[in-house]
Chains A and B, each alone.
Chain A
Amino acid sequence: MCKMQAYLDNAATTRVDPVVVELMDKIYKEDYGNPSSLHKMGFAAEQYVVDALNVFSGKLKWKRKNVVFTSGGTESNNTAIIGTALFKESRGKHIITSAVEHSSVSEPLNFLEKRGWEVERLSTDDKGCVDPEELREKLRPDTVLTSVMHVNNEIGSIQPVEELGKIIKDKAPECFFHVDDIQGFGKVKLDVKAANVDFLSVSSHKIHGPKGAGLLYFSDRASHIPPLMYGGGQQNGMRSGTLNVPGIAGFAKAAGIMLDSIDENYEKARELKDYFVSEVLKTEDTAVNGGDSASPYIISLLVRGVRAEVLLHALEDRGVYVSAGSACSSHKKHTSDTLKAIGLKDNEAESVIRLSLCRYTEKAELDHALESLNEVIPSLRRFKRR
């Protein structure tokens, strides 16, 4: 095993910031009360949740009552989608989404589709971006929800969220607008008010916070959707269940740090990605998906003639950790919808790896990744599956 390590799978999950661990450690050991308890241990725990809410209201100008903490991105997406469907059922059953959503959006929509909702999916160009004009055409008086992600998890393409929000307000003002911001929050700026966003899903562990925490921002008019969880009525009844105080506090701490340094981190990631891309394209038969406008934190790399999964394992042997763009195995083969949507053929989609950066990523790690790629690609290209 090689000594040099390069963790380039930050879109999967990130290292938790040590100050976050420290804060959570204190809560687990000392302030472990239930915020619903009436005594002072409960009160102390409750203060962490209030502080957490203050981070989001302070830095993003969100109202505190417009935030519900969840178990993470998947729950946030499900809450927004299923909640809207139940709430607006009598108004209409037409939903618009894109062809490149994460499964935590596409699967709840598939669930609704099987139960009689009409779901239309916006196509994308070869960079993975939807066309706002297509949305304008598809919006109808009975469209109750439009759900489009901000930053794509596989190729990093950034959707024109603000433009989409304006079109919805203009053409179908009753339609709710949900944005999955799990890969964008704290990394690529987005103003929910300017974009007329009704729901924004955020995950903690993608921004150096703990796993098992996240939030759903919702607009005033969207605050009437029914919850997914029923029980003790915590969080104004929007999400019953004992509050995950260490998770929420750690999440908010991590979010605050990310939001404070969003610009400088973005610049650094931009430089690193530009450098990596210019170097990696020197290798024959490679391409980078998503184009120049994609998020600097995500690099979708097509290495023709090599199976992504094999390349991944070869890189792992050299301490370089990446993801395969398209999961496949001998038993089930699933070509990524996103890679299909940008026009890749099946055999190309099977040759895509994803490298994803974070604010800790150093140039030396990328150099090590480049070196490793150059080392393994030629030998892997000797073997082609027939």
Chain B
Amino acid sequence: MRFQAFLLKYAEIGVKGKNRYVFEEALEKQVKIHLNKVGGEFAVSRINGRIYCEAKSDYDYDEVIEELQKVFGVVGICPVTHVEDKSVEGIMEAAVKFVGENYDDKNFTFKVDTRRANKSYPKTSMEVDADVGEALLNAYPEMKVDVHNPEVWLHIELREQVFMYSKIIKGAGGLPLGTNGKGLLLLSGGFDSPVAGYMVSKRGVYIDAIYFNAPPYTSDRAKQKVIDLAKALSKYTGPINLHIINFTDIQMAIYEKCPHDELTIIMRRYMMKIAERIAADTKDCFGLITGESIGQVASQTLKSLFTTDDAVHFPVYRPLIGFDKQEIIDKAEEIGTAEISILPYEDCCTIFVAKHPVTKPNLNVIKKSELNLSDVIDDLLEKAIETDEVIDIRV
């Protein structure tokens, strides 16, 4: 075991005011949940505005780092080496060994930064800095000291335990889950919506999801694809209640009674209405989340988004609004949803689409078209909501 612990750093939580402890407790809880998924035992505690995860058994380094990188709220992960012999000589020796093991090429500038939390330690932090620095320079003459802008920052902490670390691995950032309620994600099979769910969840928001199914126009494979996407997402967002709604009858009604160039926009308005109903029945749920970005397709012009938003009272969060398609795909690759999104099964959005849909829908015109549905739509919406199949997604 090369590293006996991991020190997790967080950023924004540090500046929170009186409710700072809420964020810290949530983060500690999330770290524990994630570490439970990997092999090995860890003791998780909070020290001085950081989270300390001490390994109590053997573990797989890569697996642990990968899992910790999924915890929202963590900005940096530092692999920590414990020093058994706590005397200054012991620390000097450990530092030489530490650099020897972790850096093949010793031609770099460095600085030693000691923190003395244990005030009874016989030497001051400055003295430890100097002693360790000297020991390193003697052992590795190619190393150079630079106290202003060092390439390697060797941190030593003198506590009940003495430990050192120098590397900071980038974490997911954001805020810990459970500090910001819940949002309902409109999840399709594409690249965008899973990324949108990730982005919002990253700000500490739990996610539920809703998918509109249109059998027999869509297949079991399309549905399974969405379940798989939700599973991939829940590695970051925690458990997801995935609602599956049968949308076929509404789609057919729109198809038969409304102008075809308005199909998509009207369809989206009813999807939003159903999503809002589900969201209203979900505890702590305060918003809808979609993967739209301005101008990507006809239904995502500002005018279309305006028309879609008119259908609901709930706020609609669109974290990808300013993203380009390639930026979205890059993010999807990074979080592991791209390989699922790329599977070719059709969803209802791609099947019932006009050749030339309206790009600048007029709200009044759309509302007038919807009047054609007035005698059936309430009933159809109720029936669609009755088909709600909830799948508990957790990994």
Q: Which residues of A contact B (CB under 8 A)?
A: 309-317, 329-332, 376, 380, 382-383, 385-386
Contacts and interface: CB of A to CB of B under 8 A. Distances in A.
A330 B344 contact: yes
B216 A316 contact: yes
A330 B255 contact: no
In which size bucket is the chain B interface?
A: 10 to 19
Interface stretch (B84-92, B170-178, B272-280, B346-354): B346-354
B389 interface: no
A330 B256 CA distance: 22
Contact of B252 (A313, A314, A383): A383
B61 interface: no
B351 A385 contact: yes
B354 A386 contact: yes
B217 A382 contact: no
Contacts of A310: 216-217
- 10 closest A-B pairs by beta carbon, nearest first, are A313-B216, A314-B216, A331-B344, A329-B344, A330-B350, A330-B346, A313-B219, A310-B217, A310-B216, A386-B355
Contacts of A309: 219
A326 B346 CA distance: 15
Contacts of A380: 216
Majority secondary structure of chain B interface residues (helix, strand, loop or mixed): loop
A314 B248 CA distance: 12
B345 A329 contact: yes
Interface string B344-374: 1110001110110000000000000000000
A292 to B, nearest CB: 31
Contacts of B344: 329-332
A376 B217 CA distance: 12
Interface of B: 215-219, 252, 255-256, 260, 344-346, 350-352, 354-355
Nearest to B251: A383
B303 to A, nearest CB: 23
Contact of B260 (A314, A330, A386): A386
A205 to B, nearest CB: 22
A313 B354 contact: no
B252 A382 contact: yes
A330 B217 CA distance: 12
Nearest to A385: B351
A313 B351 contact: no
Nearest to A311: B216
B216 to A, nearest CB: 3
Given A332-B344, A386-B260, 9 more contacts: A309-B219, A313-B216, A314-B216, A316-B216, A329-B346, A376-B216, A383-B252, A383-B255, A386-B355
Contacts of A330: 344, 346, 350-351
Contact of B215 (A313, A329, A383): A313
Contacts of A313: 215-219
B254 to A, nearest CB: 11
24 contacts: A312-B216, A313-B215, A313-B216, A313-B219, A314-B215, A314-B216, A315-B216, A317-B215, A317-B216, A329-B344, A329-B346, A330-B346, A331-B344, A332-B344, A376-B216, A382-B252, A382-B255, A383-B217, A383-B252, A383-B255, A383-B352, A385-B351, A386-B260, A386-B355
A309 B218 CA distance: 9
From A313, A314, A315, A316, residue with most partner B Cβ within 10 Å:
A313
A312 B219 CA distance: 9
A210 B219 CA distance: 27
A317 B219 CA distance: 10
B66 to A, nearest CB: 30
Nearest to B347: A330
B246 to A, nearest CB: 12
Nearest to B215: A313
B338 to A, nearest CB: 14
Nearest to A329: B344
A331 B354 CA distance: 17
A361 B256 CA distance: 39
Contacts of A316: 216
Nearest to A384: B255
Contacts of A385: 351
Contacts of A312: 216
Contacts of A332: 344
Contacts of A382: 252, 255-256
Which of A311, A314, A330 gathers most chain B CB within 10 Å? A330
